[in-house]
A = this chain, B = another copy of it.
Amino acid sequence: MHISYAQAYDCASAIFWSVTAADERPDLAAMLYPLVRTLIAEEMPVLAEHDVSMWGYSVLVALDETPVRTQSALAEAIGADKSRIIGTLDELQDAGLIERTPDPDDRRVRLLSITAKGRRVRRAVRKGIRVREERLLAKLPAADRQGFLRALRALHRDK
């Protein structure tokens, strides 16, 4: 009897998997990375629908929580480089979603704040994102879901 390499490999696959799957868990990053990818892919259509980029949205989120005095500070707050958010700020300003006014006390700095329109867009986008997040979280048992969210918030806070 002759079995091809193809069959042998398929067979080995099944055996190896059944042995290792039960006791061990994948690395955290190996689980989290694809999850983030999926989430971002889900968010894209929502963002496109409201004509904001991902960086644009995170700027709106940051400014909705609090106005910021300098662009550098804003960049650092959202984990970006100061040179990287300039295009984003231009777009947001042109769309009337943020205000960027020179500080009379120090004409080098730009005072940044969200507009009423920007706030509306931010809320609408978040609503769309929440709907899609729900579809994902619905896969979890209620108990784990709570632990998952609490853990995530904890890790997010003191990072």
Report which A residues bind B (CB closer than 8 A). 4-6, 9-10, 12-13, 16-17, 20, 25-40, 43, 58, 61, 64-69, 79, 103-106, 111, 126, 129-130, 133, 136, 139-141, 143-156, 158-159
Contacts and interface: CB of A to CB of B under 8 A. Distances in A.
B69 A5 contact: yes
Given A67-B12, A147-B146, A147-B151, A159 B38 contact: yes
B147 A20 contact: no
Contact of A5 (B37, B61, B105, B155): B105
How many monomers of this chain does the complex have?
Answer: 2
A65 B16 contact: yes
Nearest to A112: B9
A105 B6 contact: yes
Nearest to A133: B28
Contact of A69 (B9, B66, B111): B9
Contact of A33 (B34, B36, B103, B150): B36
Contacts of A10: 69
Given A17-B66, A26-B61, A38-B159, 7 more contacts: A5-B104, A20-B64, A25-B149, A25-B153, A30-B156, A140-B155, A144-B147
Nearest to A26: B156
29 contacts: A5-B104, A5-B105, A6-B69, A6-B106, A20-B65, A27-B43, A27-B61, A27-B126, A27-B130, A27-B133, A28-B39, A28-B152, A29-B39, A29-B40, A30-B61, A30-B156, A31-B152, A32-B152, A34-B79, A35-B152, A35-B155, A36-B36, A38-B159, A136-B155, A145-B147, A145-B151, A146-B147, A147-B147, A147-B150
